[in-house]
Amino acid sequence: MSLAPAWLRERRMLPDRWRDEHTRTLIAEDRAGESIGAGAMWTSRVHPDRYSVDLVVAPGHRRAGIATALLAALADLQPAPKPFIWGAAENDPAHEFVATLDARTIQRSPLNTFHTSRAVRLRPHDDVAPAAAVSRVALEQAWADMYEWTHADWHPMGPDARGALVEDLWDEIDPHLSSIAISATGAIDAVLLVFIDGGRPVVAGETVSRDTTAGTRLLEGSVRRTFDQLAERWVAETLLDAHETDPHFAPLFEALGPVTRWHRIVEFRP
Domains of the chain: residue spans and CATH: 6-82 (3.40.630.30), 113-262 (3.40.630.30)
- Residue 2 confidence (pLDDT): 53
The predicted pLDDT at position 5 comes to 79
- Give the end-to-end CA distance of the chain in Å, rounded to a whole number: 35
Judge contact between 47 and 157, C-beta under 8 A. Answer: yes
Q: What is the pTM for the complete model shown?
A: 0.92
Mean pLDDT, the chain, rounded, equals 94
Q: Which residues pair with 238 in a beta bridge?
A: 114
The residue among 56, 85, 4, 20 whose CA lies nearest residue 269 is 85
Residue 245 CA to residue 8 CA, distance in Å, equals 33
Residue pair 239/200 in contact (Cβ under 8 Å)? The answer is yes
Concatenated DSSP letters of 149-207:
HHHTTTSPPPTT-HHHHHTTHHHHB-TTT-EEEE-TTS-EEEEEEEE-SSSS-EEEEEE
**Residue stretches of the chain with pLDDT short of 70:** 1-3
Give residue 1's pLDDT: 42
pLDDT at 3 (0 to 100): 65
Task: Say what the pLDDT of residue 169 is.
Answer: 96
